[in-house]
């Protein structure tokens, strides 16, 4: 049989592809990156956005998921944000500080200072003036709030001086290469200083910000309403009266409501979703490259413990699973060849490293690796070793047909080499919840995790992202109250040392080399299978105009410019 499959494997693959074909349409229309018209935008109107219910709208208590950021970014802004090319752009700051413009100073003792200058006459959506004191308060809040998900970078700050209302001089005890990623959200001092936990919890459902909209309503299980911010700094914007985020249970539900005209937009779609929606003349789909990858993360610790995983703690098993995963066929058959098989955790951008790749699909080699490691097939075909059954539990989000199809492929392919894979998907809110809410990722309650990884959204800088994802101290655990996003729970002194070195220099070439070494170690340790590079696909009905694609951020990044056709 072609692709090196046995007949039974080919039959299984055919079954999966036929099932997928029932909900996919391979006939793709030309993609659209932005949508506008020749007339001036019309003020007024409402856009309804299909979204999964966020677990929090507090930017520093968020686990960094697009589910949360999609909503809070219409209201909450920071000093900078990610541009469509991945570079930092000034938002509340006048410009991005650099050594070239004199706002960044590297001192002889290895410390640094960064001077941020705020735009004039900034105000919160309640009319209160925003000042440099809010920048200092944000730092203090991040460092003292026990529910902060990560303090990476902020812990390097020793003080923030505020010589006037528009100037914040940030003093670091060491160079922070990702300084432009700090303060990507600001917290209101006048509202939260000395606030009770109940008040902070209320803020987490309706955060006060400076963005084009203000969140006025959060109805659990139904929707969030964001209304025009009358104090927004850009005259005449936003054009819309409101954006309503209607909660949906799955991507399939979002697509169905979009086609029916019940919602106007849906974001962060997959390649297969785009192929289906592009045939609808009432829907436009954006299509740009993104720094994200779809990945199978291996939990290197026994779920819920600090002990090595009895199966995935063995590098040979992880390498065998890499060999047993047909990434190219998943791309060709389930994604219609719209992307490419993954090679590393950073697929694009200045930090991407060419020439790096994982081992190719070869189930015969995979089986031989398990044989040589002492995993023997039992009567039912599943391998065992020293009384341990080679059985794994995979977790992803419920209601995602593409991921369900990928899981079924893995069930069949891994079974062929003697590995049992059990599917145990959960709702997105359960998967991505914070440590305190027993989030599956944070608590490590999985063997294999099928989810998106990669740069973008809240951590466009590779230093910030990789440090939160792969440092030893970024493993979520009771001691750090779940801070960090090292979901594979790899602790490698080499990675820590390389990231320490990268974080102490602003030289791009040096950083690129060090991150390349980190990416090579991650592949060497086979901590995950990089299935495929993800594009950014957001869909809007034709009545919505003014949106623009940004592969490095969520769909609502330029919601101030959205408007509706007359």
Read off the pLDDT of residues 4-51 as tens digits, 9 standing for 90 and up: 333 334 444 334 333 433 333 333 333 334 555 556 899 999 999 999
CATH superfamily of 76-201: Dipeptide-binding Protein; Domain 1 (3.90.76.10)
Average model confidence (pLDDT) across the chain: 91
According to the model, what pLDDT value does residue 168 have? 98
According to the model, what pLDDT value does residue 459 have? 66
For the chain, how are helix, strand and coil distributed in percent, rounded to 5?
30, 20, 45
According to the model, what pLDDT value does residue 39 have? 62
CATH superfamily of 290-375+391-399+423-535: Dipeptide-binding Protein; Domain 3 (3.10.105.10)
Tell me the per-residue pLDDT of 113-140, one tens digit each, with 9 for 90 and over. 999 999 999 999 999 999 999 999 999 9
The answer to whether 231 and 214 have CB atoms below 8 angstroms apart is no
The answer to whether 277 and 28 have CB atoms below 8 angstroms apart is no
Structure tokens belonging to residue 313: 């703690």
Distance CA 566, CA 547 (A): 16
According to the model, what pLDDT value does residue 144 have? 96
Where exactly are the structural domains of the chain?
A: 76-201, 290-375+391-399+423-535
According to the model, what pLDDT value does residue 2 have? 29
Structure tokens belonging to residue 8: 């039974």
Counting Cβ atoms within 10 Å, is residue 543 exposed (0-12), middle (13-18) or buried (19+)? Answer: middle
Distance CA 345, CA 356 (A): 10
> What does the DSSP assignment read for 378-447?
-TTS-EEETTEE-EEEEE-BTT-HHHHHHHHHHHHHHHHTT-EEEE--B-HHHHH--GGGT-HHHHT--S
Nearest one of 314, 327, 420 to 372, comparing CA atoms: 314
Structure tokens belonging to residue 79: 């000093």
According to the model, what pLDDT value does residue 27 have? 32
Tell me the per-residue pLDDT of 429-485, one tens digit each, with 9 for 90 and over. 899 888 889 999 999 999 999 999 988 655 688 998 999 999 999 999 998 888 889
Distance CA 388, CA 77 (A): 50
The answer to whether 57 and 216 have CB atoms below 8 angstroms apart is no
Distance CA 149, CA 434 (A): 8
Three-state DSSP at 334 gives helix
Indicate if the pLDDT at residue 65 is higher than 90: no
Tell me what the mean pLDDT of segment 521-546 comes to.
96
Indicate if the pLDDT at residue 553 is higher than 50: yes
Tell me what the mean pLDDT of segment 327-348 comes to.
94
According to the model, what pLDDT value does residue 13 have? 39
Chain centroid to CA 317? 27
Whether the CA torsion 277, 282, 288, 292 is positive or negative: it is: negative
Nearest one of 273, 321, 536, 541 to 448, comparing CA atoms: 321
Tell me what the mean pLDDT of segment 160-185 comes to.
96
Indicate if the pLDDT at residue 214 is higher than 70: yes
| Angle, vertex CA 191, rays to CA 190 and CA 192, nearest 5 | 105
Half-sphere exposure of 23 (CA within 13 A, CB side): 20
Which residues lie across from 105 on neighbouring strands? 113
**pLDDT tier at 517, thresholds 50, 70, 90:** very high
Which element (helix H / strand E) includes 20? helix 7-21
According to the model, what pLDDT value does residue 539 have? 97
Q: What is the end-to-end Cα distance of the chain in Å, rounded?
A: 57
């Amino acid at each position: 049989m072609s692709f090196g499959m046995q007949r039974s494997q080919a039959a299984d693959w055919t079954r999966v592809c036929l099932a997928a074909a029932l909900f996919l349409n391979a006939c793709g229309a030309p993609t659209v990156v932005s949508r506008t018209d020749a007339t001036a935008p019309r003020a007024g109107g409402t856009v309804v956005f299909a979204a999964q219910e966020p677990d929090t709208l507090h930017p520093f208590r968020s686990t960094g998921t697009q589910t949360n950021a999609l909503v809070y970014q219409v209201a909450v802004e920071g000093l900078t944000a990610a541009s469509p090319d991945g570079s930092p752009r000034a938002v509340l700051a006048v410009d991005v500080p650099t050594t070239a413009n004199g706002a960044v100073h590297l001192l002889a003792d290895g410390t640094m200072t960064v001077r941020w200058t705020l735009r004039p006459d900034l105000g919160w959506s309640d009319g209160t003036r925003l000042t440099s004191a809010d920048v200092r308060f944000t730092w203090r809040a991040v460092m003292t709030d026990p529910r902060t998900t990560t303090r990476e970078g902020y812990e390097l700050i020793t003080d923030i001086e505020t010589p006037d209302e528009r100037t914040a001089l940030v003093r670091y005890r060491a160079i922070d290469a990702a300084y432009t990623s700090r303060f990507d959200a600001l917290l209101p001092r006048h509202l939260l200083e000395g606030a009770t936990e109940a008040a902070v919890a209320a803020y987490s459902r309706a955060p006060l910000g400076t963005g084009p909209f203000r969140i006025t309503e959060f109805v659990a299980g139904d929707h969030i309403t964001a209304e025009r911010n009358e104090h927004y700094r850009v005259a005449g914007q936003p054009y819309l009266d409101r954006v309503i985020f209607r909660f949906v249970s799955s991507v399939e539900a979002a697509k169905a409501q979009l086609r029916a005209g019940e919602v106007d937009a849906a974001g962060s779609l997959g390649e297969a979703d785009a192929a289906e929606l592009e045939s609808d003349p009432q829907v436009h789909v954006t299509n740009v490259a993104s720094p994200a990858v779809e990945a199978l993360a291996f939990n290197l610790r026994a779920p819920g413990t600090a002990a090595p995983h009895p199966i995935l703690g063995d590098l040979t098993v992880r390498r065998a699973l890499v060999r047993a995963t047909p990434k190219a066929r998943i791309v060709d058959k389930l994604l219609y060849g719209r992307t490419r098989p993954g090679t590393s955790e950073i697929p694009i951008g200045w930090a991407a490293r060419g020439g790096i790749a994982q081992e190719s699909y070869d189930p015969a080699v995979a089986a031989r690796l398990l044989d040589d490691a002492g995993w023997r097939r039992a009567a039912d075909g599943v391998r065992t070793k020293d009384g341990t059954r080679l059985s794994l539990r995979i977790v992803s989000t419920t209601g995602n047909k593409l991921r369900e199809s990928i899981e079924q492929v893995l069930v069949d392919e891994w079974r062929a080499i003697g590995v049992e894979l059990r599917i145990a998907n959960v709702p997105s809110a359960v998967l991505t919840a914070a440590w305190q809410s027993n989030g599956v990722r944070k608590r490590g309650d999985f063997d294999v995790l099928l989810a998106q990884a990669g740069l973008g959204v809240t951590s466009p800088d590779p230093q910030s992202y990789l440090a939160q994802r792969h440092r030893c101290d970024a493993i979520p655990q009771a001691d750090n109250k779940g801070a960090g996003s090292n979901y594979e729970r790899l602790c490698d002194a080499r990675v820590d040392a390389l990231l320490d070195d990268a974080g102490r220099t602003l030289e791009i070439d040096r950083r690129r080399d060090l991150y390349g070494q980190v990416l090579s170690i991650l592949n060497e340790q086979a901590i995950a299978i990089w299935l495929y590079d993800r594009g950014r696909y957001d869909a809007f009905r034709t009545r919505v105009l003014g949106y623009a694609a940004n592969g490095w951020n969520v769909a609502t990044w330029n919601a101030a410019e959205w408007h509706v056709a007359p």
